[in-house]
Amino acid sequence: MARYAQVQGSVALITLTNPPVNALSAAVRLGITEAVTRALRDPKVKSVVICGENGVFCGGADIREFAKPMTGPPLVPMISAIEEGDKPVVAAIEGVAFGGGLELALGCHYRIAHSKARVGLPEVTLGLLPAAGGTQRLPRLIGLAPALELITTGRHVTAQEALKLGIVDKVTDQSAQDLAIQFAQEVIGQPLLPRKLSTQLTPCPPDVDTILDEAMARVKQRARGAMAPVACVQAVRAAVNLPYQAGMQKEQELMAFLFRSSQARALQYCFFAQRAVGKWSLSSGAHSGNSKPRPVTKAAVIGLGTMGRGITVALVKAGLSVVAVETNKKQLEMGKQMVSAMLKHDAQKMNAVPRLDLLHYTTDLSELKNTDLIIEAVFEDMALKKEVFKKLSSVCKPDAVLCTNTSGLDVDELASVTKRPELVVGMHFFAPAHVMKLLEVVRGSRSSPEVMATAMHLGKRLGKVSVVVGNCSGFVGNRMLRPYLDQANFLLEEGATPELVDGALEEFGFPMGVFKVSDLSGLDVGWRIRKEAGLTGPNVDPKDPLRRRQGRRYSPLPDLVCEQGRLGQKSGRGWYLYDKPGGRVATPDPDIHKLLEDYRVRHGIRPRQIGSQEVLERCLFALINEGFRVLEDGMAMGPEGIDMIYVFGYGWPRHRGGPMFYAAMVGLPRVLERLEYYQQVHPDVPHLQPSSLLRRLVVNGSPPLDKWRDFLQRPHSQL
Ligand SMILES: CCCCCC/C=C/CC(=O)SCCNC(=O)CCNC(=O)[C@H](O)C(C)(C)COP(=O)(O)OP(=O)(O)OC[C@H]1O[C@@H](n2cnc3c(N)ncnc32)[C@H](O)[C@@H]1OP(=O)(O)O
């Protein structure tokens, strides 16, 4: 797992060999330890180079080993032995040096990087801290403020920035390994002590306490309850206040606490789940490994509303040539201006030139003859979308892929109006589409494996986390959102306020509570959908009482709020009050409190005290319950997909792993018991009726999440 060779006469070359990323598994650590001992002992060896095989230095500790009992030599003494040795050791960094990989390089006396390499300490994103000396050596090398920033964010740094910061000593466009070998010979005999970071003091600016206090305040504000960033600041503080060994002791103590935490487990689960969802499979046997995507060089977007504009920007940024179609001339002009502004803004941030040349705007659908893939993003109306798909079917070349950005309409119904249903697929982007990482790729019953591969591959090119989902109303994300929203509204009826509900959800870790999000999205969106569904407005069944629809409990509160012209941020009032239309700072609104009080009086509801625990249980467990139904219905590949949809599309706190992971952490018997309790109290809310899958899992001893698939009733997959 580490190859040893002697090159150029006196240089020991140690190569990490653990594909694909040379993670520091037990075997690799053993290999390095043995190779370093050999090099330091061999009198013919005067200097050492450490590099990684296949153009990757090292992706850090082997994350898969974290769940198992520790074996092999630990990292800290291994790195100390390198630093303490009396022969210069040079790290040759190609590809990446992340986490333990960078810590290994910091234990070396010199670092040479390839110009395309990236370095960083991403441990915080795994719920950990750099506990192989990273929190102690990096501040000593580059100073307090930059070290704090890198360690608390886990940000990856390019070789050029690493050179500027002083993390690496040289950057080369040629082979980093060759330059390191040459360099290792040049530095033989030079004093090593100044290169041993553990012997140095952390450079301390006069305002050191202010820097640390501000960093702590910043991470606490951003962390939304995540513990690792806070521990990172504490560890770096030790690099300033304590001698190296005591600082290392502190680093170990903090790490031991984090390592055992449920947050670390959740974040590490997310790391693997994010990668797992890219490996999709269908019930037909087709999967990502055997289905080839079609080439897409020219794409089109139909409709330049908010979604269409964002999708256009995302496609252009990925280097695709795009035809943007908007039949309304005024809208086209407005869309054009906004897309250009967004592209220019993004390019400016990255010091690049905006690729406006990739764009062509038109009002004429017949200009789509040569496009490979078309994404329809018109108004969310089935009749309108069908009309567009009919036209696309006759205008586009026969093998062009037709995608819809619907957020929940039936993909099969749309496909049925085309002559190529096998080439129709849902690509459900989330607003703003050029920013949000999530993409639901919706498989219609006739979508071909090739078309799924094409949409998934395009998602990857756009930098999205793409998740294959089944074609059911609302797909996965929005389908699970309904019970969550319902519960939030019911809680208002029963005595809560928007700020009480949002406060509990934000305390849990959501960036915004449900009512703030609704205000941001615009309350009229849901209002229109409810009108179309006959839940409010003229199409309501006259036999339905005000607080019941289609046989189940219904809260008309959101409709009443809309009827008052309170449409959210855009109108300056919604569930909250804003300083102006379009304002973003939400303050509790006495008028809403009055509206709620009057409503309760009108309906004879005695308000009661509602606590955070009830808010969380009712909103989150109802959502989770629907997640189990999604699995039971075969609309998702597994719980990992659901979790990634919620983490990347709905602000679910990553350190809680996603709703299904959270359910497993809380304990499935507990989730079941609370759902049963609430269902008894609210028998007219079917969403609280525990799903049969949840019951079956509990009866079978609550198996771990990766075994849930075994408890689905077959045939299960609709994918
Ligand atoms: C008290 C206890 C003390 C314990 C001390 C513990 C010290 C911890 C310090 C650490 O080092 S924690 C790990 C820090 N490193 C990272 O977070 C890096 C994670 N990896 C990445 O960012 C990326 O994978 C990459 C290295 C940039 C490569 O990206 P790329 O897009 O090229 O490929 P991927 O699809 O992401 O990965 C390929 C393959 O490799 C698996 N993998 C990647 N990194 C690791 C790792 N560090 N450990 C184990 N496995 C890793 C990844 O899961 C993929 O596998 P798959 O089977 O194909 O899904």
Atom from ligand 1 closest to the CA of residue 255:
1
Give 434 or 717, the one with higher predicted confidence: 434
Distance 271 CA to ligand 1 centre (A): 8
Q: What is the mean pLDDT of residues 653-676?
A: 98
Distance in angstroms (rounded) separating the CA atoms of residues 252 and 254:
6
Query: Token match 């256009």: residue?
Result: 312
H-helix or E-strand containing 346? helix 329-349
Distance 23 CA to ligand 1 centre (A): 7
Distance 190 CA to ligand 1 centre (A): 35
Query: Token match 């038109």: residue?
Result: 362
Report the 10 Å Cβ neighbour count for 165.
Answer: 18
Cis preceding linkage at 20, omega within 30 = yes
Residue bearing the CA closest to ligand 1, atom 53: 272
- Whether 536 has a pLDDT exceeding 70, the answer reads yes
- Beta strands 438-443 and 424-429, pairing class: antiparallel
Distance 21 CA to ligand 1 centre (A): 7
**CA-based nearest residue to 456, from 467, 443, 472, 470:** 467
Ligand 1: does its nearest atom lie under 6 Å from the Cβ of 62?
yes
Question: CA angle at residue 238 from 237 to 242, to 5 degrees?
Answer: 130
Give me 466's structure tokens: 């793409």
Residue by residue, what is the 3-state secondary structure of 587-601? ECCHHHHHHHHHHHH
- Whether 717 has a pLDDT exceeding 90, the answer reads no
Residue bearing the CA closest to ligand 1, atom 24: 59
Distance 75 CA to ligand 1 centre (A): 16
- Whole-angstrom CA distances from 355 to 343, 362, 576 are 7, 18, 40
- Beta strands 118-120 and 157-158, pairing class: antiparallel
Strand residues in 265-398 grouped as ranges (E): 298-302, 321-325, 359-362, 373-376
CATH fold of the domain at 2-259? 2-enoyl-CoA Hydratase; Chain A, domain 1 (3.90.226)
* Buried residues in 460-494 as b, exposed as e (16+ CB within 10 A): eebebbbbbbbbbebbbbbbbbbbbbbbbbbbbbb
Give the three-class secondary structure for 536: coil
**CA-based nearest residue to 593, from 604, 577, 582:** 577
Name residue 567's amino acid: L
Residue bearing the CA closest to ligand 1, atom 18: 59
Distance 570 CA to ligand 1 centre (A): 43
- Whether 714 has a pLDDT exceeding 80, the answer reads no
Atom from ligand 1 closest to the CA of residue 272:
53
Report the 10 Å Cβ neighbour count for 205.
Answer: 10
Ligand 1: does its nearest atom lie under 6 Å from the Cβ of 20?
yes
Domain regions of the chain by residue span: 2-259, 298-471, 478-711
Q: What is the mean pLDDT of residues 309-324?
A: 97
Residue 610 phi, psi (nearest 5): -120, 130
Cis preceding linkage at 398, omega within 30 = no
Atom from ligand 1 closest to the CA of residue 126:
17
Residue 144, pLDDT score: 96
Distance in angstroms (rounded) separating the CA atoms of residues 620 and 472:
21
Distance 291 CA to ligand 1 centre (A): 26
Q: What is the mean pLDDT of residues 678-705?
A: 96
Confidence of residue 716 (pLDDT cuts 50, 70, 90): low
Residue bearing the CA closest to ligand 1, atom 6: 61
Q: What is the mean pLDDT of residues 303-315?
A: 96
**Average pLDDT of the chain, as a whole number:** 96
Question: CA angle at residue 593 from 592 to 598, to 5 degrees?
Answer: 95
- Whether 234 has a pLDDT exceeding 90, the answer reads yes
Residue 61, beta-bridge partner list? 24
Ligand 1: does its nearest atom lie under 6 Å from the Cβ of 110?
no
Give the three-class secondary structure for 90: strand
Q: What is the mean pLDDT of residues 187-210?
A: 95
Q: What is the mean pLDDT of residues 214-242?
A: 96
Ligand 1: does its nearest atom lie under 6 Å from the Cβ of 64?
yes
Give me 526's structure tokens: 């849901």
Distance 274 CA to ligand 1 centre (A): 12
Ligand 1: does its nearest atom lie under 6 Å from the Cβ of 21?
yes
Ligand 1: does its nearest atom lie under 6 Å from the Cβ of 334?
no
Q: Check for a shared fold between 2-259 and 478-711.
A: no
Window from 154-168, 422-436, 442-456, 533-547 with minimum mean pLDDT: 533-547
Atom from ligand 1 closest to the CA of residue 75:
5
Ligand 1: does its nearest atom lie under 6 Å from the Cβ of 256?
yes
103 is catalytic: yes
Q: Which of 54, 63, 106, 135 to mutate to test the pocket of ligand 1 (most atoms within 8 A of CB)?
A: 63
Residue bearing the CA closest to ligand 1, atom 34: 275
Q: Which of 53, 65, 94, 103 is catalytic?
A: 103
Atom from ligand 1 closest to the CA of residue 64:
49
What does the CA dihedral 479, 485, 491, 497 come to, rounded to 10 degrees? 170
Distance 63 CA to ligand 1 centre (A): 6
For 298-471, the fitting CATH number among 3.40.1190.20, 3.40.50.300, 3.40.50.720, 3.40.309.10 is 3.40.50.720
Distance 611 CA to ligand 1 centre (A): 40
Q: Which of 94, 123, 326, 499 is catalytic?
A: 123
Residue bearing the CA closest to ligand 1, atom 54: 275
Give 543 or 364, the one with higher predicted confidence: 364
Ligand 1: does its nearest atom lie under 6 Å from the Cβ of 23?
yes
* Buried residues in 629-661 as b, exposed as e (16+ CB within 10 A): bbbbbbbbbbbbbbbbbbbbbbbbbbbbbbbbb
- Beta strands 11-16 and 2-7, pairing class: antiparallel
The class that CATH gives domain 478-711 is mainly alpha
Report the 10 Å Cβ neighbour count for 583.
Answer: 15
Q: Please, are residues 289 and 456 in contact by the beta-carbon 8 Å criterion?
A: no
- Whether 228 has a pLDDT exceeding 90, the answer reads yes
- Beta strands 552-553 and 548-549, pairing class: antiparallel
Atom from ligand 1 closest to the CA of residue 70:
2
- Whether 191 has a pLDDT exceeding 90, the answer reads yes
DSSP-derived secondary structure letter, 604: T
Query: Token match 């609104």: residue?
Result: 589
Confidence of residue 550 (pLDDT cuts 50, 70, 90): confident
Q: What is the mean pLDDT of residues 607-628?
A: 98
Q: What is the pTM of this model?
A: 0.95
- Whether 715 has a pLDDT exceeding 70, the answer reads no
Q: What is the mean pLDDT of residues 233-245?
A: 97
Ligand 1: does its nearest atom lie under 6 Å from the Cβ of 96?
yes
Confidence of residue 544 (pLDDT cuts 50, 70, 90): confident
Q: What is the mean pLDDT of residues 680-684?
A: 95
123 is catalytic: yes
Residue bearing the CA closest to ligand 1, atom 42: 21
